[in-house]
Each structure stands twice: as structure tokens, then as C-alpha cells.
Structure 1
């Protein structure tokens, strides 16, 4: 079955079987939807999404789970704008509605959290109040009125959230519901009453969808697949659509995990639940490309491809005509934004996601003529060359090494993580298709750049980075290398120690790759936990679990003092106590330094040639460079991001 196949839902035509699901965006204006929301959803509808579900709006003001969380009572104008924009392209638009209950936050509402029972959230440790009947009645009425407002605002229907962070799931689960009244003896009672009220409010002509956590991965007391199948069978009388997801109190990160979890991980769960109902079912679970979607459509009626459509809003259209969409690498680094810093949702491979009203649209650029020289074939250089060639430039891209992709390709090859390799391969393929002249193993000197400038060519320097020298003594008995070198070498000897001052994914990935080779491996970090920044991508617990199971030694709250005579001296950062560990190879995962040697040239610099950059920043700067209309720059000038 093709993902772009037309179908029907509740008597309405749906242009494709692909769902763009609800997720946090931080695009809000206060607690209302903004024009950036409208543009964000419109772009996915334009690209072929069959169903668009907006960011979940809190049905009550006391639910304020993150600073820019939409509040349903304020969402009428935004829903109206989004609906008008998306339905123009044939998409069905549903308003996400929910309440996070005890898994919310009191930081913004400054009010007590609600919960079915006095059970603390394991993340915040905050203890909620126990909801009384009047509170339950208020919640049901709020779902009802919010659904009515959504329909009055032009939405095709609503999707009720009973997923991993929902109060409705909290009432379903024995982990959080220990009540002795009828809402405890009959745990589906609240969800049943909410759906009944919403169904009456929406009416026969509106769509009612339910996002249901069907496995909390806590079989001792939580929702299990067997229980969920029974709940779904009981509740389908109120529903037009059921979205099968997983996750709960102790497994929220398993809702949208990163690339360590294989795609289509929910298919067996979806198959079991679908067998219990007669309504259409949506499969969800790291479905990132068309082949995975086709496999899922053997089980379900629709597929949710949220992150894949953040990566490429034209996913459906491109897949339908046989083109290759920009791949989703499932890294979660910039699309999971439930973060106190309020980052706007975007994608490392598509930095214009979330910035549709800010960035130029590459489909609408005026054609230009001229030549451009791009030096460096990492992600920044490849993206700059791609955009420039798409605008009409005659582009030559020179790379010093024998392959394209720079650090992300090194990481993909050496650590066995192929999804980042998909991104660098896509960039290379796009450049070739656009006629970019690609030259590997080609040195570009200052005179070459000056000659190009004299010919009036636009020059973009994307030469990447070089290793930072160690900041501690290392004698000749120790083999010292930086992270990029470690992944390319097959003869690394143990014991191996990794120095990780960043707390990102690199040290963890290298440690796992080397441990698979059978080497003795340790990670030294000044943080109190390994991979401290992985919480933002949902892999903090998973990474430390894998490290523990692999037998990798974690040396936390420590720094390297010196490495001599086959031994590493480390110092505890809080006490100053020093100790020794054997070490034959030391791999430093510190930030690298710019490799640009063309400091006097009037050129544009992007990516690591400026300073240590993430994949997102590198591609964003390469993209911005591709849209430039200038050919002359100051020696210290870089592209604006």
C-alpha cells in the first residue's frame, strides 16, 4: 500500500495515509497559536500530509506543562487560521486536546498539580493533590467545551491525548491510580466519560481521534497491551480513529526514542490492538521513511511520520513520485523541545523547519547566474553547494579527503550508526543531481581562492576543524588521539580512556563501538553522570543503561591531570583527591578548532571553519550561505544564523 493513497475517514476524504502528529514546538505567542504555527503546519499539509494534528492544547488553565504550551480557550483564532491554511491543500486538521496532570509543572501556573492519587512524578518528584469529584467534573466539562471551540473554529475534529504524559492515562494506570472510588475500581471510567462528552460536543460530522498509550512498559502495575486492547474495544463506540503509542510514568522517553530503537517498534503492539477494534488505527513508532511506512500499512490504516515530515515537509509528495526525501536520522537533537530554554522545534538536516516565516523558501528563489567555489565537503559545504546550485550557480565543491560528509560521515562509519550517513549521502546525491562539480582529494590553497575571487566567483569556506592539542601532559608511552581519529582506526589498543568534557553523544558512541571490539573502556567526565546533555534527546537513561550493561567504566566528577608511564592520573573535581588508572590509548572528545588557513581572503566562512559547530549549526550556516547575494566579505565575516 502506498503512503500517498487517498482514503476516507468518518465520511471525509483523506489525501494520504500519513499523519503529522502532535508535538511541542515552542512556536506559540504566549499560550496561543501563532502565525509561525500556521506556516509550520501549512508546509506539511502542502507536502502531502493526510492528517495534521496540532500541538496538544491544555483544556484547563491550571495545566501549564511548559512555558509556551497552548491553552485551548485561547486557541480559537489560531485553530481557525491553521485549519484554513491546511484544508486548502486537502489535509484533515484535528485539534490536539489534553491535560498533563501530575506529570505537568507548577513552575508557570504556580498552582498545585492534579492527579488521580497521591503519587509523585519520578522526574519532578512533585506530589499532586488528589482530584475530587468536582475537579473531575470540571475536567470533563473542559474537554467538552474545548472540543466545541475547536469545531466552531473550523477544525475537522479533535484528538484526545491519553498518551505517556496525559492525566487520562494516569487514571487508566495502576501505577498512578490507587483510588478506591468508582474511578479506581473502574479505571477507564474517566476516559470513557471524557470521550462520551467530546463525541456529543463534536457531533456526528466531526472526527474524534484518541491517542492511547497501549503499553507503559511496566507490566507489574501499568497499562499492558492486553488491558489496552480491552480499553480500545470498549471505547471505540465514541471514536473514528485510534492512535496506538507506548510509554508512561517510567518510560516517557520510549514514546519517541532516538535511533538506538529500531524503526516500526510498535507494530506488534499496533497489530494486537487493531485486532480488538473495527475503527481505523494509526501506527506510530519511529516510522522514518516510505519503506518503513509501507511495512506499517500492512498492519495499520494510517502511519504517523512526524519527525520524518519535520525533516522533509514534502515527504509524501516526493515518495509518491519516486524522489528521495531528506532523511530523518532520528537523532532527537532539535525536534524534542520540552526544554526550559524554549528552543524552537527544528531539524538538524532541515534547519528551516519551524522557521518557515523567517527563512527564505528554496522553492521560490530567483534564478541567478555566476560561479561559486565551495571549499570543504562536510555538511556545511554540501548544503551551501546544494542551495547555490539550486539557485542557478555553477558550483565546484572541493574536499581534501577521499569522502564526503565530514565529521558526520566519520561518526556514521566508525561508530556503526548509519542514519547520519544517510544525511550526508542525501546531500551528496542532491549536489550531483543539481550538477555540482564534486572533487575529492583536492587541496585548495590561498592562491586558488584569490584567483576565484578575481574571476568574480562567490567563495564559501567550509573547511571544518582540526584536533585541539591536549591541555594536560601526555608522554610517548600513551597513544593520544581525538574523537574523529579514533573512529577511523582499527588498531586501537586497550585499556582505552575517553575524556568527555561535553556530555554529548560522541563519547558514548565511541565507547560503545570500542567495547564491541572487546576493549577495556572507561569514560572520564567532569559531570556527575555520563552523557549529561543526552537528556535533551531522550537518551540519557538509555545511554547509561547501555554503558552499564556493556561493562564500560564511568569515572564521573573527574578530570585528567596527566597521562604518563601507561597510567592516567585523574582528579576528583570536588575533593581534589587523585587516583591512577591504567591507560594505553587516550581519546579526547573535547571541542575541535577551526581548520581555516585562508584568514586573509575575502570569503564567507561557515560551520567548523568559524568555531565548533553542531550538525544543525553547520547545515544552517551552509544554507544561509547558499542564499547570499554577495560575493565580497570582510576577513572575519561569517554568515548570519
Structure 2
């Protein structure tokens, strides 16, 4: 299996350069073949042609392109390399529990040679420089940290020694006319032995004479989620840390840390010379040029649902609001116009319907969008209650505003039936149905001793649900039950969550919020009823059965909220030319917007989802 940078990488980076990015750092490539942290991880020795094509593609836009280089050491994976992991000392990774071999001088020499040779290849391939990874999942950080480096030789008594020697070797290789940048974890959030801001400031001061650029990040062995947290952590969370490190060095510094809004970026420039906006540019490649001309970029909602590289499902990195990110060579360019416009009627103003209307209108169609309720946004607005989830309303509002800006005729409180759609089709209009979902009736007996709600209804009645006790039934293990529990707990409601899993919110591992979610609901006093399923609801109680022991127990409650997936609203299915979103099946935000986008492309080309699947 090849581990090279593909044409899709080239297209992705070129699109960001076109959108105004000043510096592009390519995906971190392993400097040695024994480091293979995830299936698609690039290998530096195979990246020459890819680096060359990326550098050439970004050059016309004046973008500086750096090759990311690293080695994940003990935090890597042996699943693909089928070889032992390396580490500074025999300390197991707390996630995989895999114990590495302690590197000797031969392995250290190989690592140094790997960085040197990879840097030379990057420069020979036309890159403007390199960025060395000493971040949360890197072997260089493992040598810097007392959590993982317990050596007694000079690489233990002087923990910065290896990083210093590698940077020196790289600098010797690339010369003074190419950039050498270091991505440095400056707080592992483990002060008993890990990197602290004080230690990192000292390391940065020591290393800065060898560097041109320093990227300040946080996270480490026990806090990898601190690197790119979701919306529960405020934007610009690294500003104080960056300010502290900046005071110790005289070279330019890059601030990183959920900087996704232009206003926050401008504020960060008061602390550092450069701002890293990775997720913002996944959400909208034109974030820089749009901000410069006064337009609103598509917002990043900091959900982490599809943009984490180390997702155990191993998908292509993309964005829930911009599903074409990562698919630039597959999807059509949404900016393309058509020569033969037509009338398009979109029924349903949720995320799928709004995206279908927007893409169709941008192409030049005459589009009408009708929504039966009083507002656009669908389930995005329903579930965006309180906490950081309110950022999802930014996406809903952006879709609505962009529809209006693109000339879509928009109507709320507009109920239509199958005859209306039949009449529209007879007039030559293309009909897109995105009518969303309906509540799923309970799959267990429920008597009238309790109040039964589905999750969407409960979100709309947060202040009237309590005071409880309330039982949340969560067969999905996703964010909905956790969000409801937190919102209701803030209202003073007594809550229990019943889940089939052995931990609440099991699906949150993919977004990095699994530990955080369980910590928050425990601190909020939420009772967790694990590995259990509902048998019936009767006499003011939920009867549950433990899935392993078969033991039955009861939870007294006044209200039951079922967080099961809803059912598709199929009332207009037969009258549709195209059907998308929850009206097809329960969909995530990503799936809804992606299907809406496909529908918009279908209105102007022969492109459809089947062609993309084949690609």
C-alpha cells in the first residue's frame, strides 16, 4: 500500500492557497517506515512527487508551503507497520497500553537520519521549508516530557538534547534560506511530571536560535484532546500560553487553539505574528479572501465530528458544513454556473433543503424554498440549545443568509401537499423534498403515569420538563442525550441516563469528547444506568434489564425522554424528483448537508451520489 501524497492532497492545499492562506503545512509525514500511526499516514520517503505537485500548485498564490515531518513513537500503532513501537523509555501509551522498546543509540541515530533525509527530500521537491512535529502525539515531545522520558543517559538528564540535535541536523541540511519551524507542545496538562509552560518556555528559549518559526500548542500523553478540543473549550484558548512562550523567544510565533472566527484571529495577532486556522479553512477554504472583502465565511462550529485525522473509522477528513473539503477532485466546484437555468422547488428548510437551494441558486437556477414551520434550520436549531452547541445555529443562520443572498425565494409557514408538487412538476419545476423526520413511537409499553417525550420535543421545552425525576433513554450513544442531560441539569432537573453501552456517549470518542462528556455529567449529578435496556414504563417508573446479567430494576420518574433516532417523514416521497436528508433516513448534519449539496449539483449536471461513491 502506498503512503504518498495524492492528487487529492494537492487539490485540497491548492484550494486553501487560492482562498488566501499565507502558509500551508502539509500533513505530517513519518520520517521512518517503522512509524505508521494510521492507515493513510504518509511516509516522507514516498512524498517527493506529492510535495512537488503541492508546491507548484500553491506557488501562483504566493503561499509559503512547509512539509510536516514527524514520528509518533510510543503513541503510534503497530497495526499497520507490524513492528515494535519506539519510545524514549519503557512507558506504555495510556490509550493502547502497548509497551514500546526503549530506544538505544542505534535507533536514535536512525531517527536523526530520518529527519535529515526527509528534510533534504522536501527541499529538493520545492518546499519552502519544513515543520518538525513536537506536538501531543510526537516522539520529540516524548523525549521532552518527564512523563515518558525516564532515561539516565544524556538524553534523559538533558531532555531537550535530542530535539536540539535533530533541529541542528535539519538546519544544516536545508540551509538558512529555507524555513525550519517547530510545532511544540507547551503544556501537557500533567504538571506532576509533564511539560509545563515554564519548562516549555525554557526549551523554546534554548531552541529558538536554530528556528525560524515556533507553533505553540498544548496536549500530551494524557491530554491529546487538549490539542484540538470541540466547542466545550472556548476559541483562542491558547492565547495566554502563547503570550508566555512568546516572551521567552525572539522569533515569530504562531498561535493555535480553536481560532475559527476572523475577529478572534485579529485579536490573536496582538499576541503572535501568525494565526493557525486549520479547522476554519476546512469549513471554508475562502475564509481569508471572504473576510478581506467583507463577506461572512462558512462558520466552523468546532464539532470535531469529521475533521479529526485519528478517527477510528478512518474516513477522509472533511467538514459537516462543507462536505466537499477533502473531495476537491471528486465534487464539482460549487461556484460553476450553468447555461440553461430552470425552476427548482425545495420543500423543507432544514440543513439538507437549504444546502440544496443554495447550491442550485449559485448555479443560476430560479429557486423557491418552502418551510412549513415558522423558521428555517430544522433539527440544527432544535438541538442547538445552550452550551457550545449554540455554535450550530451559526451554521443554520449562514445557510439561511446565503440562500437569501443567492436569490432564493424563501417562505415559512408554507404547507404543501402532493398535489402542489404534482402541479409544480407539470410546470417543469424540479422538486427536491427535504421534509425531515417525525417522532418515533416508543418501542416498549408506556402507560399514562409518566410524560413521554422524544428528544426534539424535549429540547423545545427545556424549562418545563422538570423538576423531575427525568429518565433519558439513549440507544445511540451520541451527543443528543448528553446535551439534553447537561441542559436539563442546568435547569435543576434530576436526571438518569439509560444506555445499552458500558459508558455514556460511547460515540463521542470519535470527536474527542468522550472523557469530557462523562466528567461533565458526573459533576452535574446525572445518574448513569449502564448496560441496560428499557422493558416497560409503568406506575411512574422505568423498568430496565441489565444486558449482561438479565437483572431487572426500576427508576422512578415523572418524565421519560427517548433519544432514539427519528423516523423519516415520507408524506411527499412519491411526489419528489429528489429526496434528501432525514426524509430518507435518520441523518447526521454531515449527511444532510452532503445530500443537499448532491441534490444541488444534480439540478445542474448529471452528477449524483452514485458517481461519487464509485470514485
Alignment-derived partner of residue 356 in structure 2: 384
Match of 1:131 among 87, 97, 103: 103
2:602 aligned with 1:628, yes or no?
yes
Contact 1:415/1:510, CA 8 A, preserved across alignment: no
Q: Secondary structure at the match of 1:600?
A: helix
Match of 1:88 among 45, 56, 60: 60
Shift of 1:68: 1.1
In structure 2, stretches of 5+ residues that fail to align are none
Partners of 1:381 and 1:130 in 2: CA distance: 55
- Regions of 4+ moved over 6 Å: 637-641
Alignment-derived partner of residue 540 in structure 2: 566
Match of 2:280 among 284, 305, 308: 308
2:471 aligned with 1:491, yes or no?
no
Partners of 2:388 and 2:558 in 1: CA distance: 23
Partners of 2:187 and 2:417 in 1: CA distance: 59
Match of 1:221 among 168, 193, 212: 193
Contact 2:28/2:70, CA 8 A, preserved across alignment: yes
Shift of 1:437: 1.1
Shift of 1:638: 10
Aligned counterparts, 1:63-78, within 5 A: 63-78=35-50
Alignment-derived partner of residue 161 in structure 2: 189
Q: Deviation digits for residues 284-326 of structure 1, max 9, x if unmatched?
A: 0000110010111110000000000000000000001110000
Shift of 1:121: 0.3
Shift of 1:125: 0.2
Shift of 1:452: 0.3
Contact 1:461/1:596, CA 8 A, preserved across alignment: no
Contact 1:367/1:391, CA 8 A, preserved across alignment: no
Q: Secondary structure at the match of 2:322?
A: coil
2:357 aligned with 1:399, yes or no?
no
Q: Deviation digits for residues 78-137 of structure 1, max 9, x if unmatched?
A: 000011001121100000000000000111111110000110000000000000011111
Partners of 1:564 and 1:639 in 2: CA distance: 50
Partners of 1:184 and 1:275 in 2: CA distance: 26
Partners of 1:76 and 1:341 in 2: CA distance: 28
Shift of 1:367: 4.0
2:579 aligned with 1:598, yes or no?
no
2:426 aligned with 1:454, yes or no?
yes
Partners of 1:51 and 1:604 in 2: CA distance: 41
Contact 1:605/1:638, CA 8 A, preserved across alignment: no
2:70 aligned with 1:98, yes or no?
yes
Alignment-derived partner of residue 117 in structure 2: 145
Partners of 1:271 and 1:165 in 2: CA distance: 23
Q: Secondary structure at the match of 1:484?
A: helix
Q: Secondary structure at the match of 2:79?
A: coil
Alignment-derived partner of residue 112 in structure 1: 84
Aligned counterparts, 1:535-550, within 5 A: 535-550=509-524
Q: Secondary structure at the match of 1:211?
A: strand
Partners of 1:212 and 1:398 in 2: CA distance: 50
Shift of 1:366: 2.2
Match of 1:508 among 482, 503, 509: 482
- TM norm structure 1: 0.93
Q: Secondary structure at the match of 1:263?
A: coil
2:391 aligned with 1:419, yes or no?
yes
Match of 1:250 among 219, 222, 230: 222
Contact 1:311/1:349, CA 8 A, preserved across alignment: yes
Alignment-derived partner of residue 23 in structure 2: 51
Q: Deviation digits for residues 555-607 of structure 1, max 9, x if unmatched?
A: 11001111111111011011110001111111111111111202332421000
Partners of 1:389 and 1:274 in 2: CA distance: 47
Q: Secondary structure at the match of 1:339?
A: coil
Partners of 1:585 and 1:416 in 2: CA distance: 25
Aligned counterparts, 1:160-559, within 5 A: 160-413=132-385, 417-489=389-461, 490-493=463-466, 494-559=468-533
- TM norm structure 2: 0.97
Contact 2:335/2:363, CA 8 A, preserved across alignment: no
Report which stretch shifted further, 206-215 or 560-569.
560-569
Q: Secondary structure at the match of 1:286?
A: coil
Partners of 2:340 and 2:541 in 1: CA distance: 60
Cα distance change, pair 515–281 in 1 and its aligned pair in 2 (3 A): same
Q: Secondary structure at the match of 2:119?
A: helix
Contact 2:187/2:218, CA 8 A, preserved across alignment: yes
Cα distance change, pair 416–275 in 1 and its aligned pair in 2 (3 A): closer
In structure 1, stretches of 5+ residues that fail to align are 1-28
Aligned counterparts, 1:24-39, within 5 A: 30-39=2-11
